[in-house]
Each structure stands twice: as structure tokens, then as C-alpha cells.
Structure 1
């Protein structure tokens, strides 16, 4: 990605490269204790070109020569200038990641997966959070990302990009996660709809007449996709569709919803849009004298590491965040290496994990 933010790399002329390299070498020489490529070449008894080849990992250097040059580099404390090398090869080997939030389980685990998979491909990541879900916030983060010299950008966005006329992604974003960015970008996401369908169908198969739903915030793409699938699954099965309750992904909001549902006649099954809200529901049901799963069955979404330690252990829909992160990196690198732009949606399957929070309703 070029620093202009257009999404296409501006060709760097040979003169610009030579100028940048000379500036970098001059800056090294000008420092009081700086060590230049010339210093290494003199001490090792080789040409500066040989030193550059060793620094760049070029295989066309004899092993004995390479070892001698590396030994001198270590002795003198020489460090190759990464900016100059990046200009020369036309790649910074860095992927930018822009996200609205670092507080959600999905975002954190996806960022971790992106960083680990990028490192395996010898790429680093640069992470910049967006301070506010506005066009100015997105544009500001993207401008900063451009200045930091990255090859491409992954955007992890928990909003409805197409539904919000004031919010759009700048050119240059290669992959979008957790969004309805549609066919404009390469989108990678969990199959939110199928995961919700599995949760609801599991409860219906146990014999529950209907399933209540504690959804996430309306502005969240994942929340709305899960809520829509919950409603569709009930409608298709010819079951009543209860009014949806809203939370904000927190255990506290799940607790508030649970206090209401515990007093709801006929409520025997609940699908919570994430595991943290399910934790709050469990507390509320316990305080209200409702036993899970004997009185109310409960299914969450995410399969956070603590879910198996809830009381009772939570039946939930597992998202494969590692696969999502890996797919993001693979899509980005393919576009970088081929200098192309891909579009389309890649959905990563979910899995329902059966534990002790669900059971057949009492007769």
C-alpha cells in the first residue's frame, strides 16, 4: 500500500532508491558511534556489495564469507537499515491492522491469530485502533497507517459499513473482517448465521417450544446476523418468535436480561449472542431460583476459554478465530504477491460444543 492511501504502490525510480540509500548511509556515517556498510566491508575484507548481499539474505555468497561478514556485523554492532532495504525491494513486509475495539474476545483472538500467522510468513503487523466509529476516525487511522509504510491493510470492523452512509473504508484496504462490506472487498468472517442456527436448532431438537434471544448491540454486524438467523430458524420451524432482548456483550447486560427472563412465563430456553452475556444470565437465573438446565437451558456463542468452567459448563457455538486470522493473512499475501485486488466472502464454519447447560424441558 502506498503512502498516498490509494491502495496501489507508486513505482519508485532507481534514482529515488539510490538517493534514499545514500541518505541512509550518510546518516549512519554522521552518527558519533554509527557503523556503516563501508566499515563492515573494510573489516571483513569484502566489497560493500557482498555486505549488502549478506544483509539481504542473498544465497549467492560463499558460506565462509557469509560467516565472516556476520561475525564482523556482530562485532561492530552493525544493523542494516530496514527502510532503505524496503525501498530497494519494494516491500515493507508489514501488514496494517485497523480495528474499532480491542476489548472484544473476537477481535483480540483474531488479531493474535493474524500476528502469529504473519510472523510465520516473515511479516510483521502494525496495529492502530480507531478512536471512534466515524468516517473521520477511520480516515485518521488509515492516514497514520499509510505514514507507517505497510504493504496492505486488514480492517476488523464490528459495524454495518453499507448501512451507515457516513462510514466507509478508504481505498487500500485489502481484507475486511466482521462486516457487511459485501463485494467491494475480500471479506473473511465466521459463519455467524449458521452458528446461530445450530444453537437454536439444538434447543428445538431437545424439545423446547421456542427459544428466547439475548442479542448484542444493533450496530454490530455479528449481532444482527446472529439475531436474524435465530428469528429465521424459529419461523421456519413454525415456532413462536419471542421479543428480542438487547445487551452490549458484557456479563452485566446479560445479568440484566436474565432478571427479566427468569420472570417470563414459559421461558425454558435462551440463546445468548456471546458467552460473556451467558455468564450474566447464569448469575441472574441462580439468584432468581432458576436452575440451569433443569428450568432453563442456555446456549452461548464464541466458546471463550472459561466457558467450560462456568457453573454449569456452557453449551456454546465455537468460533475458529485462528482460522479467521490465518485466512486474512493468506488473502492479503496473495494480493500482495500478485499485485491484484480480490473480492468475495470467505465464511469460516462454526461448531456447537455440547456441555451441561442444556437439557430437555421438564414435562
Structure 2
């Protein structure tokens, strides 16, 4: 029958989703059971391989890994973390990735953490400000980390505006974090005392000092120990010259010291500034160590190749990094924090840049 208009009757159309054809199938999630079936092992064995357990024979481990690769299986680290109550990850916050000490400490932290089956998450802070450090700790609080190691050289953690994420264990490197946190650091003061005592024992009447930046804890401690050592020995304390850790700033200080008639010994707060001092003394006709003895701090790998080879204070950055990891892991295992300072000893390395003064 036709409609009164002469047109065929309208059909009752199906909804669009029913006439548009079947939706594309989503790729099914590969499960641990799928891997176990392909590898011919139990799901428990797949779990042990995923967790890095040593209790799996090597041939079975390779068989399971091959099945994982074939199926594209990725272990759910978040689920494993919830199950065991740990992410097995340590966050590291640092202000500078160009500093020798920071890089070598970071390397030691990463290697020692890996030996303990922990990974690290790195957050570099571009601006050494309270807002910068607060932002870094806030970001760490949002990430899956069990503990934080903060490598910093400036006065920030004593600020009331800086708060840490609750429940996260913290160790601070190269800082004066007070009694609130655990601190691991090189024994900066003892290293400086060794440098100054070495020059005084050679017979120099006093020791001039090229310090690092005022905001640096390491610079602050080294300068204070230099001053105290001279005072305790009954020696005059010359005015301090200040650099910025760079060889260029050491060079500028060296040009000034070369014109000081009573300057026969200099303690530079790091080896890079000592390198600049060597250049300035050479250009000014001052021989090292015949006219001026020079001691640095750090014992950079190139220090033995300076001309002359540099007497310097050796810092054990690997030990600092290792102790940071051991400290936070102890906090994680015991679920406690024990604020305090761990100092790593230094060693004076005597080379050819120091000698008794001329008489």
C-alpha cells in the first residue's frame, strides 16, 4: 500500500551506532597468564622473572623473557608497588648537572641504587630559590618514589616555606639542613685544615685564600676552617678573595695575588680556580712552587696533569653517594628518620705545586 502522498512509507531507521558497522576491536591486554602459557611455565614463575628474583634458573628466565618480548608484555610496576608497599625508586633533586662534585655524586647514587635493585628519578632545579626547591619536592610528592636525595649547596631547607611530601624519606647532600633532616657531606672543614696546615708546616708565614661563592655551604665551611686554622696557629689572616668556582675567577684572583709581595702560599677552594691561579702566576712571572705554593680542593681527574701537578684535597664523591643511598634505604626499611650529619673523610694529596718558601 502506498502512502496518501504517493510516496512509499517511511522506514523505522535503526540508530546510527547499529548501522555504522562494528567498532574496531581494541588490542587485548596481554596478561601474565598469557606469558606463562606461551613460555610453558607457571604465572608465579613469570612474576618472579618480572620482579628480578634470583630464584629462577637462567634457561627458564630467558624462555620467559622471550615470551614477554613476543607478546609485547610489560609488567605492571604500579601494581607490583602497591602489592609490596614500595616503588623501589629514589628521587634525586639537584641544582647543577655541570658541577663535578654533583655529577660524580649522582653517578655514585645511581650505581649504588641499582646494586640494591632501586631506580632513580632525577629532577634538576634550574633556579636555586625557595620556590624552585619547593616545586621540586612537590613534583617528587606526585611521583612514585620512596625517598628523596637532595643535592644542594645553598641556604634553602632552613626556610619555613619549604615543606616536604609526607611519608617520603629525605637525605640532603652538601647542606646545612639543621636538625630536621639526615645530612651526608664531605668533611669540608677538616679538608681545609689539612690544606692550610700543610702550607704552614712547610714554613710559610701565612696562607692566602680564594674562596667560592658566599651562598655555598662548601665554600663557607672551607673559608671558616682556613681562618680558624691560621688564628689557632697565631698567624695573620689575610683578606679573603672570592671567586665563583670557575677557572676565570681564579685567574682574576691570581692577577691580584701576584702583586702581593708577602703572598707565598695560597689555598684555593677548588681545583678549577687553582688552575686559573696557575695561569695568572705564570703570566705575572711567578713560579709555582718556587715563588708561590698552591693547594686546591676536589682532586679533579686532571689535577695530576696541571703544570705543575696540583697538591689538593681529595673528596670521595663515591662514598658520599653510597652513604646517601644506604641512609635512605635504612629509613625505608625501618620506617624511621634519624636526623644527623654523616661526614666523609678527605685526604690531602701532595704533588709538586707546594714547597718551602724562599729564604
Please give the TM-score of this superposition, normalised by the length of structure 2: 0.87
Q: Does 1:210 align with 2:202?
A: no
SS at match of 1:79: coil
Q: How many residues align?
A: 333
Question: Who is 1:144 aligned against?
Answer: 139
Structure 1 residue 31, shift from structure 2 partner: 5.5
Decide whether aligned partners of structure 1 residues 60 and 328 sit closer, same or farther in structure 2, where only a CA change above 3 A counts.
closer
Structure 1 residue 135, shift from structure 2 partner: 1.8
Contact between 2:169 and 2:332, CA under 8 Å: does it hold in 1? no
Structure 1 residue 45, shift from structure 2 partner: 5.3
Question: Who is 1:170 aligned against?
Answer: 164
Question: Who is 2:342 aligned against?
Answer: 346
Q: CA RMSD in A?
A: 2.2
- Picking from 211, 232, 235, the partner of 1:236 is 232
Where does structure 2 lack aligned partners over 5 or more consecutive residues? 1-24
Counterpart-to-counterpart distance in 2, 1:132 and 1:166: 18
Question: Who is 2:197 aligned against?
Answer: 201
Question: Who is 2:7 aligned against?
Answer: none
Counterpart-to-counterpart distance in 2, 1:48 and 1:151: 27
Contact between 1:302 and 1:318, CA under 8 Å: does it hold in 2? yes
Structure 1 residue 143, shift from structure 2 partner: 1.8
Give the number of the structure whose residues are more often helix, by fraction: 1
- Picking from 84, 90, 93, the partner of 2:85 is 90
Q: Deviations over 1:292-318 (max 9, x none)?
A: 000000000000000000000000000
Q: Does 1:302 align with 2:295?
A: no
Question: Who is 1:133 aligned against?
Answer: 128
Counterpart-to-counterpart distance in 2, 1:167 and 1:285: 46
Question: Who is 1:361 aligned against?
Answer: 357
Question: Who is 1:4 aligned against?
Answer: none
Counterpart-to-counterpart distance in 2, 1:99 and 1:234: 34
Q: Deviations over 1:5-62 (max 9, x none)?
A: xxxxxxxxxxxxxxxxxxxxxxxxx863753223224434566455434433567889
Structure 1 residue 106, shift from structure 2 partner: 1.0
Larger radius of gyration: 2
Counterpart-to-counterpart distance in 2, 1:316 and 1:50: 54
Contact between 1:95 and 1:151, CA under 8 Å: does it hold in 2? yes
4+ residue runs over 6 A deviation: 59-67
Where does structure 1 lack aligned partners over 5 or more consecutive residues? 1-29
Contact between 1:44 and 1:69, CA under 8 Å: does it hold in 2? yes
Q: Deviations over 1:141-195 (max 9, x none)?
A: 1122222211100011101346x64764525351011011122111100000000
Question: Who is 2:104 aligned against?
Answer: 109
Counterpart-to-counterpart distance in 2, 1:116 and 1:59: 19
SS at match of 1:189: strand
Counterpart-to-counterpart distance in 1, 2:234 and 2:284: 30
Contact between 1:161 and 1:167, CA under 8 Å: does it hold in 2? no
Which segment is superposed worse, 152-161 or 289-298?
Answer: 152-161
After TM superposition, the structure 1 = structure 2 runs for residues 220-231 of structure 1, keeping only pairs within 5 Å, are 220-231=216-227
Question: Who is 1:251 aligned against?
Answer: 247
Structure 1 residue 248, shift from structure 2 partner: 0.2
Question: Who is 1:12 aligned against?
Answer: none
Contact between 2:169 and 2:328, CA under 8 Å: does it hold in 1? no
Contact between 2:33 and 2:43, CA under 8 Å: does it hold in 1? yes
Which segment is superposed worse, 212-221 or 179-188?
Answer: 179-188
Structure 1 residue 116, shift from structure 2 partner: 0.8
Structure 1 residue 82, shift from structure 2 partner: 1.5
- Picking from 20, 27, 33, the partner of 1:32 is 27
Counterpart-to-counterpart distance in 1, 2:348 and 2:289: 17
